[in-house]
Amino acid sequence: MSPSNNPPSGSDVVLFDTPAPGVALLTLNRPDRMNAWNAELSARYFGLLEHCAKDDSVRAIVVTGAGRGFCAGADMDALQSIGGSSDGAPSAEAASGSHLQSFTTTVPKPVIAAVNGACAGIGMVQALACDIRFAAAGAKFTTAFGRRGLIAEYGMSWLLPRLVGTANALDLLLSARVVLAEEAHAMGMVNAVLPADQLLDHAVAYAADLAANVSPTSMAVMKEQVYADYAMTLGDAEQKALRLMKESLRRSDFKEGVASFLEKRPPNFSPVTR
């Protein structure tokens, strides 16, 4: 049974909205700090993602930032506090929160980043952990870690090479140089670049199309396949796909998909099968 459509109560550091049927919009909301990441924002963001994952009325999720930035990285006030511990680990949660940042990849629904501005460090990790990325023209990306004396944090070393290749990933990690959305698109990091005033509408329309016309269970299974199959051989991935295909042929969504096509009508797919 679907839970309440109301998101969990909490602070307004991440806003929740439903701009289209089946679409949840999460807006990182610390515009005075360029939406810098801290434990409060992390807890609210992942709490809302968990809500969206369980809510049958949500079929696709869009993530963006308030103001001029998407997320300019970890809050510097929180980073300064890390130096007070002997090894940094106990205080690291002050900057990142207690969740694994890769949680987004486990949400059984498409998560679409609308990168409206500066996207750096842990903010770039969050954008890369989304399944699709649209960016505003001129939006700036930087890994940032090397210039803070850090390493490729929060799974960046896994995410980035799979999008842009080893050479480009090492360039971006070692130099921590700033790349604009247009170069990020050319590398394959970003799916499309839009004028700033069209970005959010485009992302919401894309998500609304998925919500209305694609089987939620099919999307959940395909997302799991893409992330899990990285560790498999081609043969093993094909054998797994054959098993999953047989399962899909037995689901009601397959019959509905064929029927809606033949009857030239929108499909009426079931929520994600859990």
Report the CATH superfamily, name and number, of domain 14-211: 2-enoyl-CoA Hydratase; Chain A, domain 1 (3.90.226.10)
Q: Nearest CA to 95 among 76, 115, 119?
A: 76
How many other CB atoms are found less than 10 A from the CB of residue 138? 12
The pLDDT assigned to 1 comes to 36
pLDDT tens for the 274 residues of the chain, in order: 344 467 777 689 999 999 999 999 999 999 999 999 998 999 999 999 999 999 999 999 999 999 999 999 887 766 555 554 445 444 445 455 567 888 999 999 999 999 999 999 999 999 999 999 999 999 999 988 777 777 767 788 889 999 999 999 999 989 999 999 999 999 999 999 999 999 999 999 999 999 999 999 999 999 998 998 888 877 877 777 788 777 877 888 778 777 887 888 888 888 886 5
| CA dist., res. 38 & res. 130, Å (int) | 19
| Distances in whole angstroms, Cα of residue 178 to Cα of each of 67, 76, 273 | 20, 19, 42
Domain ranges of the chain: 14-211, 215-262
